[in-house]
Amino acid sequence: MNRRLTIACSMIPAVLSHIREVMAAIQGVNWRWIDTDALKDLTARREADIAVCAADELLYPLQEDLTLAALIHEIPSFPKKLAVMCRADRADLRGLFFSLDVRNTYGKVWLVGAGPGSADLITLRAQRALAKADVVYYDDLVDESLLSFSEGERVYVGKRKGRVSHAQDAINDALYRSAVEGKTVVRLKGGDPSIFGRAGEEVDYLRRRWVRVEMIPGVTAASAASAAGLFSLTQRRISKSVTLLSAHGIEGLETIPSAEGTRVYYMAASKLKEIARDLSQRGVSLDTPVVLVRNAGFWDESCVAGTVENMADLEVSPPALLIVGNVTAFARVERKALFIGVDPDIAGVQEPVVHQPLIEAVSMPTPAPDRPETPLYRTVDPRPAPLDLSYFSAVIFSSPCVVEAFEEVYRSFPDHLLCYAFDDSTRDALQKKEVHPWRIVACPVRKPGSAKSKKTSVTQSVPNSG
């Protein structure tokens, strides 16, 4: 079926010649030119079906009733991409030019929130994006064990106070160039990419260049901090609102919601004096409780409580997040239990569980009469670096070989640790290490893979840093 199109194009002769060649390659289409203001003919006067112009001349964002039907390669006489525009309700025109669109060769960029700390706080959708990635550009404060979800290239582009940082313009350009090369790109950011993560700048840069972008949210540090301290950011009769603020540039803030709500300051460790002064000037009561949460979402998360009056004297090293408001009055970080065996889901303890495997399973060979039996487990090699045991209230020992592995890494069994033992042989192994019998208790064991285990087990993984 023949179709007749009106094309608005007011460009140099070489470009007009190129467009004629493009149109001639499309079978069954007749066309005529309108050599005036291309986009006005397409929109205001509605005299054209399509408009052709230089892609970098388009106003961004496009009018809602317009769409880019195709982006056409540069030609030697005109070193800019050409944009073929049509009305958004003309799916037939989008389909007509689809095969000419160079964006079909582009990759896609995913802006992915890694969550605030522990690798198990990342979403399933984010894991799937990482599995597809040809290249991952990852930030500071991202658990690097997450990179194991991807077999693609890994590029560190982190920013951290006091360290050499990667310029945002260079990151934007790297994302764009990787996408134009046809790669599937993941930009992996700590927390949620839309909250103080510069996602807006990266989305804007890429969309202005017609690269497809998708954002995958992550657990933000404010949520992780309240979860760490076991308090709610909002609470009936106490706090009806939450305000997220950056501690950088706090002096320039002109308006903040009333003192009745909860304030959350990101990147706050080095700005406590400035924030305290600002709160006081805004009439926030000096006895308002505050809490500083460090490493929210990681195994070593901790919090320091105070008030607006004494918060400037609180000492905490970054990364730290400050929460101001009455909801923080009872904030406490619960100490965790350290599981050093293979499967933490089978431990039925009440404490939150952190998993640092010190042993690994060994596959069993086919039994043979002339060959001794191979052990089921062996010590992880290389050994992981020991964790600071002051963050833990207990250690879970699943077998005697786990007891030996713990001693190899930690050298001793500190007196403040309760020792969970799976069975009598494990209890005997602990007593041989001179652990007081009163510190050794039976560990509730769940059947592996049971529904109860899947629903109730909460663990954090610690990457092997050996």
Does residue 159 carry a catalytic annotation?
yes
Same fold: 3-103 with 108-219: no
Higher per-residue pLDDT: 15 or 143: 143
Residue 462's Cα: distance from chain center in Å?
A: 17
Q: Which CATH number fits domain 222-330: 1.10.3720.10, 3.30.565.10, 3.30.950.10, 3.40.50.300?
A: 3.30.950.10
Dihedral Cα 395, 397, 400, 401, nearest 10 deg: -80
Give the containing element (helix H, strand E) for 24: helix 13-24
pLDDT digits (tens, 9 = 90+) for 158-178: 876 655 578 999 999 999 999
Q: Which 3 state secondary structure label does DSSP give 18?
A: helix
Task: Give me the architecture of the 108-219 domain, per CATH.
Answer: 3-Layer(aba) Sandwich (3.40)
Q: Of 49, 267, 271, 311, which residue is the catalytic one?
A: 267
Provide the phi-psi class of 434: left if phi over 0, else alpha when psi is between -120 and 50, else beta. Answer: left
The domain limits of the chain are 3-103, 108-219, 222-330, 336-461
CA gap 285, 221 in Å, rounded: 25
Q: Please, which pLDDT band fits residue 434 given cuts at 50, 70 and 90?
A: very high
Instruction: Assess contact for 106 and 211: CB atoms under 8 A.
Output: yes
CATH of segment(s) 3-103: 3.40.190.10
How much is the pLDDT for 71? 92
- Predicted local confidence at residue 162, as pLDDT: 54
Alpha-carbon span 220 to 301, nearest angstrom: 14
The pTM assigned to this predicted structure is 0.80
pLDDT top residue among 231 and 29:
231
Confirm whether 267 is a catalytic residue.
yes
Query: Among 120, 159, 204, 300, which one carries the catalytic annotation?
Result: 159
Output the pLDDT for position 466: 42
pLDDT of residue 302: 92
Q: Was domain 336-461 assigned CATH 3.40.50?
A: yes
Write out pLDDT tens, residues 253-295: 655 555 568 999 999 999 999 999 999 988 899 999 999 999 9
Give me the pLDDT at residue 463, please: 64
